[in-house]
Each structure stands twice: as structure tokens, then as C-alpha cells.
Chains A and B, each alone.
Chain A
Amino acid sequence: MRNKPRLFVGAAAVAALLAGCTAFAPAPDYDKLVAEMMKASFRDEGIARVDRLNQDAANAECSKAVGAPLSGEATRAIENANAKAVKAPGDGVFLGDWKAGEQLAQDGRGMTWTDKSAATSANGGNCYNCHQISKAEISFGTIGPSLYNYGKIRGVTDPASAAARPVVEYTWGKLYNAKAFNACSLMPRFGHAGLLDEKQLRDLMALLLDPKSPVNQ
């Protein structure tokens, strides 16, 4: 909320301008009305508490744009702030087990008010809800791009090699915090939001990048 004071100055300037040259009533402050409405409309239920309505800069800016693109400046500010928050795996190992990754990609559970625990172990990756991934799974969503042949297309033959390093690091960053690369990405920030732990992220990395994964056949 660092940009609040600037917004108030802007609103005051607009109001002064309107008062000076027209008789029109100023438009209602919809952002304020929405904030009040959200606060009054929801209550805690199980693990889903009302603090989930609090927005960081990325969610606030992308919401207020109501579907329109952000300015270049706002986009860069969000992407830079989120890029800084990406944490590389503690042990420097980026890839785990693609079979565990496939299970996680299939699992759409977690974090609703009917889920008992908010622990990462209770959460799935939700991946197939939005992406095609392996060729065998035909029940996939289309909100995100197809990830079939993800590693192969990017020329990854040995994920541990120096040549593969940029793709490996990018993919980790994308899973960890998609807003680091696309300010208003529709994808959850799996690492940043604490939805998945490092082991789970490594397993998803293997699903996408391991040459033995069905994704790359």
C-alpha cells in the first residue's frame, strides 16, 4: 500500500479540477466502496480467513485494472518486487522425481474452507486444471499454455548441465512466483505463497524438465 498517498493526491487534484470548471458530481470512489463491500461481505470459515482478502501490490494493481493492461512502469515494479522474492532451493538441487511431480500435477486439492489443513503436504499443484502436460492425460484445462514437451522444446537434454541452467532457473522462478515474469499472471505463486514446499517444487520441475518424464517423450 506504499502508493496510497500518491493516489490521494491524485484524487484531490482531480476533485479540484472538477470543482473549478464543471458542475458535474464527482464519480463515486468505487475502489473505496469495493474495499468496504469486501470487508463487510465475508467471514472466516475453517482455514479460509478474511485476511485472504488483503492484497499485496500485485493483486491490488491487477484487480483495479479490471482486465486492462497495466502501465509499463507498474508492470516492471511488480515483476521486480516479485523476482526479488524468489528463493532458489536451499541445497542447490532443482530437480526431484517426475513420478511424484505427475501425482502433484493431477492433485487439485488444498486451501479451501473445506480443507482441514493449510500445510503444504495437504496441497496439490492444480496443474492439469489449466495446462496440458503429459500426452496421456486428456482431461486438461486450457487457461494456461500447453506444457507438453516443455523441456524437449527448450533443448534440455541434461538438466544438470551448464547449458540447461538458464531454463532450469527460469522454470523454478516461474513455479515459485509467476508474477516475477508476468505481473498479472493468472498462475498462483506456489513457492512465494507457501502452497508447495521445495521438495514438491523439485518434483514438478522434474515432471517438466527430466528427459525421462512423459512430458518430454
Chain B
Amino acid sequence: MRPSPLLTAIALSLVASVAPAQQKSAAEGIAEYRKMLEDGNPAELFEAKGEALWKQRRGPKNATLEQCDLGKGPGVFKGAFVELPRYFADTQKVQDLESRLVSCMEMLQGLDGAAIAKTAFGSGEQANVTALATWIASESRGMRFNLPQAHALERRSYEIGKRAFFYRGGSHDFACASCHAEDGKRIRLQDLPNLTKNPGDGVGFAAWPAYRVSNGQMWGMQLRLNDCFRQQRFPYPGFGSEVTIALATYMGVNAKGAASIAPSIKR
């Protein structure tokens, strides 16, 4: 999707206003900018698409997703987002929102889950997964994160997610923790949330999926993590791979009590 002329104009005016207003922190500037766009977050278009997809008969089984179990029982989508990732008995796995949606598309509609996982972000069925995730997240807006940790595999996911968060490697020795384990740090002017604890309402894990104005794309947490690993100089994480789920569990459990603003709008 192309950004509208209005959005472009607002984006340009932001760029113009950030430079002279150094007294104002980058975070304040961006918060102000988000406020301006709140009435017209393009994420709404993806929400609408996601809701329509949920109710649409599709796939070899010509079925809707209305019986999809996102953890609170078949068909319950309200509040599901702020309790994911969690353990699912039918797949015997801990799953995040996006990987769970793919399981539902496979089980209910007969679509090929492995093929969807291999599809590039933003194209084909992956674009549909993003739209569905955007809508499901919007149905938990304002609710507080409260991931279950009762199942042994949920606790295991947290423990290995924590270790993955601190796992140093790649050409630059970077880990997630290199940038996201202390309060009040920045890269250039970009504020970095401390993800080893609850970083606050609508910050970090509680802000994705998000519409990114800089490239006009809707990003789910899977793509957010994928781009983190790219910048970390790591190899390519598979969609829905265990490391992405474990990191989401670690961040989600740490964010306990934080209010979700997803889908949000980002630079």
C-alpha cells in the first residue's frame, strides 16, 4: 500500500519539526506525531481486511476461521491477543498469534501451513496472516498482558526465550540484550525499550502489530523480530520458528500488566 498524500505531508512535517526542536526529545516528537495520526491510523484498513478474512469461506475446505481457537475457546477473539503466546493441546506447541492463525488456516480451511510459513512477508497468504493478526490484536486494545505460565512448555518457552534474548553471536557479537536490557538507552535518536521487564503501557511487545509510516507497511511481531535479527547481523529466522516464539513469550510475560495499544503506528 502506498502512503496517502496526507500521510506523506504529515511525515515530512515531522521530519522538519524534529531537527530544530531538539529541546523536545525524539520520544515526545514521535508521541505527538502518533497523536496526530490516531484518528487515521492506516492499520484500520488492515483490521477491516482481517475481520473480513476471518468470516470468509476459503481454502480447500471452503470454511471460515470463526471456529479458530486462539486460546480462549473456539471462536473467542476478544482478549486472546494479550494472552499469547500460549500452549495449545492440539498442536502440542506454544504458539504466538501469527503461527496460531496459520494452524487454524491449515486445520479449518485446509490451507498449506508450511507453504504459508515459507511465503515472503507482505505477499500471498502471509499478507492475509498479517491482516488477521492486526484485527485480532485490535480486539484486545486497552487490555493488559497476562500470558499463562501454567503449562511446563510455557515456562520452558520463557526460560529458553530469556537465554535467546541474551544469545550473542553474528559478525558483531550482538544479542537482543545489547540494545534492550537497560533503561533510557538510544540508537542515534531512537529510544530503546528495556524488554527484560515491563517497559510500560503500549511500549515494546505491547505495540505490535504496527503500521510503519516510513515504508507504508503493516508489520506483525514475526516481521518485527525478523528485522531485529537482520540488524543484529544474525542469519534468517524462520517464520514461527521456536526462537521467535520463545522470544515473544519472554517479552510477553515480562510485559505482564502493560496495556496493549496494538495495532499502533510507528515511524
* Chain A positions near chain B (C-beta within 8 angstroms): 28, 30-31, 33-34, 37-38, 40-45, 48-50, 52-55, 58-59, 62-67, 111-114, 118, 126, 128-130, 138-143, 179, 186, 188-189, 193, 195
A76 to B244, CA, bound (A): 34
Chain A minimum-CB-distance residue to B232: A112
Q: Is B234 an interface residue (CB 8 A)?
A: yes
Chain B contacts for A66, CB-based, 8 A? 162-163, 165-166
The smallest beta-carbon distance between B151 and chain A, in angstroms, is 14
Q: Are A63 and B172 in contact, with the CB atoms below 8 A?
A: no
Q: Are B159 and A48 in contact, with the CB atoms below 8 A?
A: no
The smallest beta-carbon distance between A141 and chain B, in angstroms, is 4
Q: Can you list 25 A-B contacts with CB-CB less than 8 angstroms, sorted by A residue number?
A: A30-B159, A37-B243, A41-B237, A41-B238, A41-B243, A42-B243, A45-B235, A48-B170, A48-B234, A52-B169, A53-B235, A55-B169, A63-B168, A65-B166, A66-B162, A67-B181, A113-B230, A113-B236, A126-B172, A128-B188, A139-B189, A143-B185, A143-B186, A143-B187, A189-B173
Interchain CB contact (< 8 A) of A53 among B156, B163, B169, B181: B169
Chain A minimum-CB-distance residue to B233: A111
Q: Are A34 and B163 in contact, with the CB atoms below 8 A?
A: yes
Q: Is B214 an interface residue (CB 8 A)?
A: no
Chain B minimum-CB-distance residue to A130: B187
Q: Are A43 and B238 in contact, with the CB atoms below 8 A?
A: yes
The smallest beta-carbon distance between A73 and chain B, in angstroms, is 20
Q: Is B179 an interface residue (CB 8 A)?
A: yes
Contacts A41-B241, A54-B169, A113-B236; is A138 near B156 (CB within 8 Å)?
Answer: no
Task: Please name the 10 residue pairs, one residue from A and one from B, whose CB atoms are nearest each other, closest first.
Answer: A45-B236, A41-B241, A41-B243, A188-B172, A59-B168, A42-B235, A111-B171, A141-B187, A52-B170, A34-B163
Q: Are A193 and B196 in contact, with the CB atoms below 8 A?
A: no
**Chain B contact residue count (CB 8 A cutoff):** 46
Interchain CB contact (< 8 A) of B233 among A34, A43, A52, A139: A52
Q: Are B179 and A112 in contact, with the CB atoms below 8 A?
A: no
A45 to B246, CA, bound (A): 22
Q: Are A44 and B166 in contact, with the CB atoms below 8 A?
A: no
Chain B contacts for A179, CB-based, 8 A? 173
B200-248 with Cβ < 8 A to chain A: 229-231, 233-238, 241-244, 246
Chain A minimum-CB-distance residue to B196: A67
Chain B contacts for A62, CB-based, 8 A? 166, 168
Q: Is B175 an interface residue (CB 8 A)?
A: yes
CB-based A-B contact count at 8 angstroms? 135
A53 to B175, CA, bound (A): 11
Q: Are B168 and A42 in contact, with the CB atoms below 8 A?
A: no
Q: Is B178 an interface residue (CB 8 A)?
A: yes
Q: Is B164 an interface residue (CB 8 A)?
A: yes
Interchain CB contact (< 8 A) of B236 among A31, A42, A186: A42
Chain B minimum-CB-distance residue to A190: B172
Chain A contacts for B22, CB-based, 8 A? 138
Chain A contacts for B241, CB-based, 8 A? 40-42
The smallest beta-carbon distance between B78 and chain A, in angstroms, is 31
Q: Are B235 and A50 in contact, with the CB atoms below 8 A?
A: yes
**A-B contact sample (11 more), CB < 8 A, given A52-B235, A55-B169:** A28-B156, A34-B164, A37-B243, A41-B237, A42-B238, A42-B243, A48-B235, A50-B235, A113-B230, A142-B184, A193-B172
A129 to B178, CA, bound (A): 12
B24-48 with Cβ < 8 A to chain A: none
Chain B contacts for A193, CB-based, 8 A? 171-173
Q: Are B156 and A40 in contact, with the CB atoms below 8 A?
A: no
Q: Is B63 an interface residue (CB 8 A)?
A: no
Chain A contacts for B159, CB-based, 8 A? 28, 30
Q: Are A188 and B173 in contact, with the CB atoms below 8 A?
A: yes
Chain B contacts for A43, CB-based, 8 A? 235-236, 238
Chain B contacts for A64, CB-based, 8 A? 163
The smallest beta-carbon distance between A1 and chain B, in angstroms, is 14
A100 to B75, CA, bound (A): 60
Q: Are A49 and B163 in contact, with the CB atoms below 8 A?
A: no
Chain B contacts for A28, CB-based, 8 A? 156, 159
A128 to B235, CA, bound (A): 24
A143 to B189, CA, bound (A): 11
Chain A minimum-CB-distance residue to B162: A66
